Amino acid sequence: MHLSKSLRDEFHLPTGVRAYLCGNSLGLQPKATRAALLEELDAWAAYGVEGHFRGDKPWMYYHELARKGLSHVLGAKESEVVAMNSLTANLHLLMTSFYRPSRGRAKVLIEAGSFSSDRHAVCSQIQLNGFDPKVELIELHPSGATFSTAEIIEAIAAHGDSLALVLWPGVQYRTGQAFEIAKITAAAHAVGAVAGFDLAHAVGNLALQLHDSEADFAVWCSYKYLNSGAGAVAGAFVHERHAHFSGRRLAGWWGHNEKTRFQMGPDFDPTAGADGWQLSNPPVLALAPLLVSLAQFLRFDIAQVQARGHALTASAIAELDQAHAGQIEVLTPRDPLHRGAQLSLRMRAGRDAGRVAFERLSAHGVIGDWREPDIIRIAFPGLYAELQDVHRLLEALA
Q: Is residue 15 part of a domain?
A: no
pLDDT higher than threshold 90 for residue 2: no
Handedness of CA 190, 191, 194, 197 (dihedral sign): negative
Q: Is the domain of 96 the same as that of 204?
A: yes
**What's the whole-number mean pLDDT along residues 266-271?**
95
Segment 140-177, tens digit of pLDDT: 999 998 999 999 999 999 999 999 999 999 999 999 99
Q: Does any domain span residue 157?
A: yes
Residues 327, 279 share a domain: no
The answer to whether residues 204 and 186 belong to one domain is yes
- What does the pLDDT average to over 95-124? 97
Q: Determine the average pLDDT of the residues in 333-354.
A: 91
381 domain residue, yes or no: yes
pLDDT at 330: 95
pLDDT at 1 over 80: no
48/44 Cα distance (integer angstroms): 5
| Rounded Cα distance, 164 and 136, in Å | 10
Average pLDDT, integer, range 186-212: 98
- Does 180 share its domain with 210? yes
| Domain carrying residue 369 | 301-397
Please tell me whether residues 94 and 210 are part of one structural domain.
yes
Q: Is the pLDDT of residue 350 over 80?
A: no
Domain boundary among 271, 297, 323: 297
Q: Specify the CATH number for the domain of residue 181.
A: 3.40.640.10
Q: Which of 297, 321, 352 is the last residue of a domain?
A: 297
Rounded to a whole number, what is the largest CA-CA distance in the chain?
68
d(CA 25, CA 282): 24
Q: Are strands 137-140 and 163-169 parallel, antiparallel or unpaired?
A: unpaired
Mean pLDDT along residues 265-293: 97
Domain match, 203 and 350 both: no
Assessment of whether the complete model's pTM goes beyond 0.85: yes
Say yes or no: 314 and 278 in one domain: no
Measured between alpha carbons, how far is residue 35 from residues 10, 30, 67, 298 in Å? 13, 10, 21, 19
Q: 243 and 131 in one domain?
A: yes
